[in-house]
Amino acid sequence: MDARSEYEAAMAVRTQGEVITAHRRALLGLTSAQRAVLLDAVRTHLLTGTRHTSDDVDALARFVACAEMRRPGSLLGRVTPDLAHRLRGFVVTALPVLPSRIRERHDVGEPETPARRKGSGWDCQGPVGTAQWRS
């Protein structure tokens, strides 16, 4: 899977808090000039962010994450492909790893008890403290 499809899949299944945090971490990996290009796209496309600078990473992360969660690619499609690819890669690597999903089993019944062989078990016939397992 390439960075773009992993990024779009993450936008669909992750919580907003995880996505914003990942964008914040990713934006810290970009230069101030790259963040300025992204902020210009935010101002043009979203008509917001006029009071913010490229160093205001928290606000920029919120703007980008919310725009990309609503319509994946709508904002990053307005910056250079190199910058979009770089940001997507940083976001994907900044996301926490999901635990593997547990399969739901619908055919689960009562657990089977193992059959005991006749004569197996604990031998408690001797003096106290000398119990032994018989197999």
pTM tops 0.85 = no
| Residue 115 DSSP SS3 | coil
DSSP 8-state code for residue 81: H
Question: Quick check: 99 pLDDT over 70?
Answer: no
Q: pLDDT tens digits for 78-94? A: 999 999 999 999 999 99
Indicate whether 102 pLDDT > 80: no
Q: Is the pLDDT of residue 57 over 90?
A: yes
Structure tokens at 44: 């043009």
- pLDDT grade for 105, boundaries at 50, 70 and 90: very low
H or E segment at 9? Answer: helix 3-13
Rg (CA), the chain: 28
With 70 as the cut, is the pLDDT of residue 117 above it?
no
Contacts (Cβ under 8 Å, ≥6 apart) of 119? 134
Is residue 38 within 8 Å of 60, Cβ to Cβ? yes
Structure tokens at 129: 């403290």
